Structure 1
Amino acid sequence: MKERTIVVVGAGPAGLMAAISASQNNNNNRVIVLEKNSEAGKKLLLTGGGRCNVTNNCNVDQLIKNTVTNGKFLFSCFNIFNNDDLMKFFENYGLKLKIEEGGKVFPTSDKARDVLYILLETLESNGVKIWYDSEVEKININENGISEITLRNKNIIKADSVIIATGGMSYPKTGSTGDGYRIVKELGHAVVDIKPGLVPIEIKEGWIKSLMGISLESTNIVCNVKDIEKPNKKPKTIKWTGPLIFTHYGISGPAVLNISSYLNKHINNSIIDIIIDIVPNVSEQELENILVSKEFEKNETIFKTLSKILPKNLVTALLDVLELNKDKKLSDISKEESNKIITNLKTLKLTPKDLRSISEAIITSGGISTKEIDPKTMASKLVEGLYFAGEIIDVDAITGGYNLQIAFTTGYVAGLNA
């Protein structure tokens, strides 16, 4: 059988897995990985705070449910290579894994570099070559499909198939600068508008700066989204529970990042209210018992009373915002003041101004339209011999290992079929 040359563009998690899959599943494949950086997996090394949350230990239905954009598109892929398959892959190559809260899967060593090492060692053992400092300028096609690749240095590589795994536009310092979008547009593919995903939210209210640096381990967040162009349409409600951090520009933290991936399609064409319960473990009735019924010592100050259920720096900042004297005794506060405190603790209302830039986002939302990709093979429906994998596709998920799983899965399937 004639040797075929498969070129993978991008040495991130999707590209590395695509190259492994292509080399393992057909001995007649000559596989080359092109990476414009001087090293592989730069973004992979940053994931999970450097610990690398490789996947999530949930069922396939949950993988799809927790994919914010085009989850159903991944159904066929997950039936071919899912999270169980991925964990077995790493464990078979000697990487020990552990499962943490929420089903998050990490290497036992807590080192992302150990994950990258396995991928690179597997490539080397399969005879795959990585060409570093090799940036693609153009992919050339003829009447039969893919023909060759032209690099920035003007070198030309003949290819039978090409897998585009260049990533998105988040973390541009790692090399994710949107190169892939330019390349695929030249080949006739449509790219869905690029937006930041898993990113902090800027808030209009100026007083939010006074809460800067304060973090809460648990909050309940409700976002009501009303379409400006369709005022009669029922508002969409997005809910999330989890940690939150106040910043100088607004809010961040795991709960906020996940909500942002739902809001990014509405932020510029909708009226959005964010309502935060900052004491989800204390009911409104319990707060009334404390502040109105004076359940605690009446001579206590408001500050001391609230500091029993909230961080002290948050109490100070909140009372300043509400223009309440923190040294005022519990016995001296009015019903109106009590209600003011309760309302802001249980339903703190904020107005989003915008999302932070894509350079601060964990992932990219948007990308190559899934309508132009065969979901069973990751093959282009427009160009013979062209395949896609990872973040360049218009698919993104919440935090918890889901986005890396998508990268590995689409990479494996693309390599299998290229």
Structure 2
Amino acid sequence: MKIAIIGGGPAGMMAGILASRHGQVSLFEKNEKLGKKLYITGKGRCNLTNNKDISEFFPAVVRNPEFLYSAFYQFTNQDLQNLIPLDFKVERGDRVFPQSDKSSDVIRALEKILREAGVQVYKNTPVLDLEKEDQFILKTQEGAQAFDRVILATGGKSYPVTGSTGDGYRFAQKFGHSLVPLRGGLVGILLEDSFVKDLEGLSLKNVSLKARGDRKLSLFGEALFTGQGLSGPIALTMSSYINRWKKVDLALDLKPGLTPEKLDQAILRDFQEGPNKEIQTILAGRLPHRLVDVFLSILDLDPHKKVNEITKAQRKSLVETMKNFPLYYGGLDKLDHAIITSGGVDVKEVDPSTMESKKIPGLYFCGEVLDLDALTGGYNLQIAFSTGHLAGESSGKGFEKS
């Protein structure tokens, strides 16, 4: 049996390794090397997976976690670490990295397994077209080849420089599959506030980003102002939750560890201890220096005003703004800049126990081409590896290599 895999990212490589146990496998990759997007994950260190129990992965999956039960349990994070012959280490948040901190080591290890399995890898070979007659007819610049089974592991549309240009969506739609509209996941939030450029590069630690829209959501951690808006861990995470909301209101709680009452008492003590100090001096002890002028302009307070001239109402307003620093939401950054693609092939049309199309027998999907995405921490790569494993194994069911 001949099996074709389109896409040589983590999902495609894993699918190739498993499919090779059942048939003759050809893997087609448009780039000059395999795993190009894998090179940049974890800032080049490759956050391969997460070390939590696999049952704890589901809350980290934003889109369609229930679809992943078979894939995750048939090939877990521990199975992945056992398969790849490297030493790994676990860091903050249970993130798993190769001991060497090199993505290239992970890719080389996977390529070695592919070679030993006898997978024929075609690099610099984009698939131009895919048709279905008695068999699948796959066309490249070198001509056409016939295959019994095809696995689409083409990735999403984020980071197109890595080859993720949406080819798989075109093939899927050609075979009658529906696409859930694409959105950026784990991407920067754009803000329309005039002060954004003044705060570019400012990092805020131990704050909460709050969103109201389809529901209420609050995320605690670190945020970073960019020239266009907000980035950093909590902003990237928030983007994956709000990317389909029709209306979004955002605010920062700059002192999430204090209730409004406790914060008011603390600021009142500051005022009483330095009644002749300027309000900008007092706030500099509570907020990052660069944020003070912006904060006071929102309150329409003179930075040089003495605190003994601040009214009770003004102090209450100051507390309220510190707990709900308003941000004017302007949408999300471009999909090209997103870490992950949200949306894709509708999972309702794919069998979760095999990754086979419910519309076209012999056609399989895995990885980011599907409407699956998760938070940062190694979860998205585990989705790719687990769905790739299941697609590769299922594509050869009923056929054993002679």
TM-score range, shorter chain: over 0.9
Structure 2 SS opposite 1:7: strand
Match of 2:289 among 302, 312, 320: 312
* Pair 1:219 & 2:207 matched: yes
Structure 2 SS opposite 1:210: helix
Letter in 1 for 2:227: H
Tell me which residue corresponds to 1:42: 36
Contact preservation (8 Å) 1:291, 1:330: no
Once the 2 structures are TM-superposed, how far is the Cα of residue 295 of structure 1 from its aligned partner?
Answer: 5.0
What are the superposed Cα offsets for residues 133-187 of structure 1, whole Å, 9 maximum, x if unpaired? Answer: 11111122124xx432111x15112212111000000001111011111111111
Query: Percent identity at matched positions?
Result: 40
TM-score normalised by L of structure 1: 0.89
Distance 1:73 1:285 in 2: 45
What are the superposed Cα offsets for residues 274-311 of structure 1, whole Å, 9 maximum, x if unpaired? Answer: 12202223443343233334354334433333233322
* Pair 1:396 & 2:373 matched: yes
* Pair 1:147 & 2:147 matched: no
Contact preservation (8 Å) 1:290, 1:296: no
Distance 2:203 2:345 in 1: 37
357-366 or 133-142, which deviates more: 133-142
Length, aligned pairs only: 394
Match of 2:263 among 274, 279, 287: 287
What are the superposed Cα offsets for residues 377-406 of structure 1, whole Å, 9 maximum, x if unpaired? Answer: 111111121111100001111111111110
Tell me which residue corresponds to 1:230: none
Distance 1:385 1:342 in 2: 61
Distance 1:278 1:46 in 2: 32
Match of 1:271 among 247, 255, 262: 247
TM-score normalised by L of structure 2: 0.93
Q: 1:36 to 1:125 in 2, by over 3 A?
A: same
Distance 1:38 1:171 in 2: 16
Contact preservation (8 Å) 1:43, 1:174: yes
* Pair 1:137 & 2:114 matched: no
Tell me which residue corresponds to 1:233: none
What are the superposed Cα offsets for residues 332-369 of structure 1, whole Å, 9 maximum, x if unpaired? Answer: 33323322321221111223221111001111111111
Contact preservation (8 Å) 1:207, 1:321: no
Structure 2 SS opposite 1:243: strand
Tell me which residue corresponds to 1:9: 6
Distance 1:115 1:66 in 2: 23
* Pair 1:252 & 2:231 matched: yes
> Which structure 1 residue ranges, 4+ long, deviate > 6 Å from structure 2?
none
* Pair 1:54 & 2:33 matched: no
Tell me which residue corresponds to 1:303: 280
User: After the TM superposition, which residues 169-208 of structure 1 pair with which residues of structure 2 at under 5 Å, given as runs?
Assistant: 169-208=157-196
Contact preservation (8 Å) 1:50, 1:112: yes
Tell me which residue corresponds to 2:148: 160
- Give me the CA root mean square deviation: 1.8
Unpaired runs of 5+ residues, structure 2, are 396-402
Structure 2 SS opposite 1:166: coil
Distance 1:209 1:319 in 2: 17
Tell me which residue corresponds to 1:383: 360
Tell me which residue corresponds to 2:57: 63
Structure 1 SS opposite 2:30: coil
198-207 or 313-322, which deviates more: 313-322
Tell me which residue corresponds to 1:77: 71
Contact preservation (8 Å) 2:195, 2:294: no
Match of 2:386 among 406, 409, 412: 409
Distance 2:103 2:274 in 1: 51
Contact preservation (8 Å) 1:99, 1:106: yes
